[in-house]
Structure 1
Amino acid sequence: MKIINYFTAILLTVLFNQLIVAQQKIKSNSMTSFTEKGIAAAAAYFKGTVWVNMNVKPEEGYNINMGTVTFEPKSRTNWHTHKSGQILFVIEGIGYYQEKGKPIQLIQKGDVIKIPKNVEHWHGASHNSLMRHIALIPEFDKDKTEWLEVVSDVEYDGFKVPVYEVENNLTPAAIMNHEELWPNYVSKVKETDPELIEVFDNFAFDEVINHDAMETKTRVLLIMASTIGSQALIEYKMFVNAALNVGISPTAIKEVLYQAVPYVGISKVIDFINATNEIFIERNISLPLESQSTTTAETRMEKGLAKQKEIIGNRVEDMYKNAPKDLLHIQQYLSANCFGDYITRNGLDVKTREMVTLSFLIAMGGTESQIKGHIQGNANVGNDRQTIINLMTQLIPYVGYPRTLNAITCLNEVLPLKK
């Protein structure tokens, strides 16, 4: 879909406004309303129950063809093309639009779909809601509509909107992003707290996700990590399933879990390990997974210290130098155990591991000193200020504002915005 030019946009705006006026001030049979269904659409070109009401015809002196098309649930056009392109104004309900070779898009009231010339596409209602749009073909004297094959049920069912999401006024982006993680999942909370579902899902799965271009797999992995830090076992299990649904490997999931041990503690992680194993078994994922360890008892200290310096920098030497003799063993544990046993493992790259660690710390709360250290650690391995802001933004719905704002304060101290 591409943006129309300036003059065409002005023409469309004027015509659209005229249609609204016509709807409100119907005075004679010569004036039509785009809320009227009209006549049944030609069965050869549509599947299901579809109504067409022509609002503006070329013979009336306009070089356009404009009509209101009402699709009952599950009805749609055939695949087709327009030599002059087409513009759709969605005025009611929820529907689907798809161009050949691309995913189905969700459309709803207020959306404007600008269909390029000669692009094979189809559009229609969603499974559970009617959809009404105004269809406009510009340059009608040059246009030729070519009708193609029927949109099969398999193609149409490639994306299905659950009934509750239609009823709860979720945005198309919120529905699609939620469905990407949990296809056809129906929340039990929607039955008891529909208003909360509407507010939370529209925020978390539309507004927040659309803040930046963080890759879905990365976002899901970091949110999953934060649920361990928050000790949110139910939400963790949701995100393990989401991770598997979007193609995150079982190894990567387990590596997040293992990395949580030195930061959160085994007593808090063990329940998450058991829950993960149960999900893996349900999904026929064989256990144990292949080992990702890269150190031995003899090399863990040396390799751990090297990894620690890669992430933390030369400050590690000061930490050793300034440690009281009776606490030197803690520094050695950090190098050999935290970094040597865990951070040196395969399965996750170092940039992802540092973001995972930061997600743990932000979710735990009360870890500002460590957050500052790992903000710098993120920067040292190539995660810049904007990447860290994106991470913190994506965590807001799951860890809340106080812990996020505390983390932002740390960020501004360690990596202030350059003026």
Structure 2
Amino acid sequence: MKVLKQMKPALLLVASLLLDATTADAQVEQKRINKMNSFIDKGVAAPAQNFTGTVWVNMNVKPDEGYDVNIGTVTFEPKARTNWHTHASGQILFVIEGTGYYQEKGKSIQLIQKGDVVKIPKNAVHWHGASHGSLMRHIALVPDYEKDKTEWLNPVSDEDYNRYQASAIKGSSKLGITETAHKNHEELWPNYVSKAAQTDPELIQVFDNFAFDQVIAHDKMETKIRVLIIMASTIGSQALTEYKMFVEAALNVGVTPVEIKEVLYQSVPYVGISKVIDFIGATNEIFVAKNIELPLESQATTSPATRMEKGMAKQKEIVGNRVNEMYKSSPKDLLHIQEYLSANCFGDYITRNGLDVKTREMVTLSFLIALGGTESQIKGHISGNIKVGNNRQTLINLMTQLLPYVGYPRTLNAINCLNEILPAK
């Protein structure tokens, strides 16, 4: 392939987000979004005669710039791929996002994902593209460009393209993954093919049968709520790769972009902007790739003049009259922290629209459980959950669904907090 794209360094994206995230000014926010969009601009549409599906290409380094090399970035939307083709000088692919396929003529299809490097021999007949359920972006390099000749051949048929997925599905049944686990996994990530199933089949068998069959069967928690609380826990765990998976899952099961962003925004006062900023950037990249226009509609309900009053009212709704005791018992040199809790944590964040208060409290509890070492706050938010109508069984269900993602120590600590605050009858 000879045409590709200009990508700005990810470090600049993170720095830009960090500098702009602390301001509420709408014009500055729009500039931040515009910057972000320019960094991940997908470029121009690839020529339809050489590609199947939606493919975007941009140049990084052109031969006419004085280098005997062609370097660029290609973005394949799910199921998109190149035709069969060859390069007289060979080609090197650096996968930088998502999951895709690569195949040389006469060989099996390989699953490729972020971090993989594919070295394509000279004149090898091959194709590459996105997997069934995931966008795939790679940087492609063609060396000795003056000597190179690219020959485009026939399109990759659906039958050939689908062979990997058919093989993977057949392989999952051989792994001993139950039909229920497979069905529940497919609900979240339709047609997703896991490379880990190839490299670590025993682990995938154990985990999928537990997380997607046994644990889900424990209760009747709505799928959207289950996905939201697990997504929230990945922020607390600082598990960015798994977070991106659950953003995709959330969109697949009908969670709105606003609901996803509200979980993300609410994590800031509990996890801290330093740990959340990369998750903001990752979310925006996913949204832009799916043509979700940014910024989203504002969900704020307070102003600088009302945040303290409305925040205090929301705090009392969730915490109760204990708020008054917290103010009275606070040393004078720490009174400002209580005021920050009311005006910032509750006034700026928890008063927002986009999520109802019961869901917000479940999400908050999920952050705290995943963080670890927050037992005092877990107890407070168990009480808060009860105050807004989430009963003991609801919280047991929450802790059960988080277990595969946060592990037993954090889950058992949360259960101890639950039994202390709301003992079983």
Does residue 235 in structure 1 map to residue 242 in structure 2? yes
Q: Distance in 1 between matches of 2:350 and 2:417?
A: 23
Does residue 379 in structure 1 map to residue 386 in structure 2? yes
Aligned residue among 231, 246, 254 for 1:247: 254
**Deviation, structure 1 residue 163:** 2.7
Aligned residue among 313, 317, 327 for 1:310: 317
Q: Distance in 2 between matches of 1:320 and 1:188?
A: 53
Alignment of 1:12-411 (within 5 A): 162-411=169-418
- Once the two structures are superposed, residues 199-238 of structure 1 have per-residue CA deviations (whole angstroms, 9 ceiling, x without a partner) of 0000000000000000000000000000000000000000
The answer as to whether partners of 1:225 and 1:360 remain within 8 angstroms in 2 is yes
* Structure 1 length-normalised TM: 0.61
SS of the residue corresponding to residue 245 of structure 2 reads helix
Q: Which amino acid aligns with 1:386?
A: Q
Q: Distance in 1 between matches of 2:171 and 2:287?
A: 29
Q: Distance in 1 between matches of 2:287 and 2:196?
A: 25
**Deviation, structure 1 residue 164:** 3.0
**Deviation, structure 1 residue 397:** 0.2
Q: Distance in 1 between matches of 2:273 and 2:344?
A: 13
Identical positions, percent:
78
**Deviation, structure 1 residue 255:** 0.1
Over alpha carbons, which structure has the higher Rg?
Answer: 1
- Once the two structures are superposed, residues 65-94 of structure 1 have per-residue CA deviations (whole angstroms, 9 ceiling, x without a partner) of xxxxxxxxxxxxxxxxxxxxxxxxxxxxxx
Q: Distance in 2 between matches of 1:388 and 1:411?
A: 8
How large is the Cα RMSD of the aligned pairs? 1.1
Q: Which amino acid aligns with 1:206?
A: D
Runs of at least 4 residues off by over 6 Å: none
Q: Which amino acid aligns with 2:315?
A: Q
- Once the two structures are superposed, residues 112-162 of structure 1 have per-residue CA deviations (whole angstroms, 9 ceiling, x without a partner) of xxxxxxxxxxxxxxxxxxxxxxxxxxxxxxxxxxxxxxxxxxxxxxx9882
- Once the two structures are superposed, residues 294-337 of structure 1 have per-residue CA deviations (whole angstroms, 9 ceiling, x without a partner) of 00000000000000000011111100000000000000000000
Gapped runs of 5+ residues in structure 2? 1-164
SS of the residue corresponding to residue 390 of structure 2 reads coil
Q: Distance in 2 between matches of 1:219 and 1:292?
A: 23
SS of the residue corresponding to residue 255 of structure 1 reads helix
Q: Which amino acid aligns with 1:261?
A: V
Report the counterpart of residue 135 of structure 1 in structure 2.
none
Q: Distance in 1 between matches of 2:320 and 2:419?
A: 20
The answer as to whether partners of 1:162 and 1:184 remain within 8 angstroms in 2 is no
Q: Distance in 2 between matches of 1:185 and 1:274?
A: 23
* Structure 2 length-normalised TM: 0.61
- Once the two structures are superposed, residues 34-73 of structure 1 have per-residue CA deviations (whole angstroms, 9 ceiling, x without a partner) of xxxxxxxxxxxxxxxxxxxxxxxxxxxxxxxxxxxxxxxx
* Higher RCO (CA < 8 A, seq sep 6+): 2
Q: Distance in 2 between matches of 1:188 and 1:271?
A: 24
Aligned residue pairs, count: 260
SS of the residue corresponding to residue 424 of structure 2 reads coil
Q: Distance in 2 between matches of 1:163 and 1:354?
A: 41
**Deviation, structure 1 residue 168:** 1.1
Q: Which amino acid aligns with 1:234?
A: T
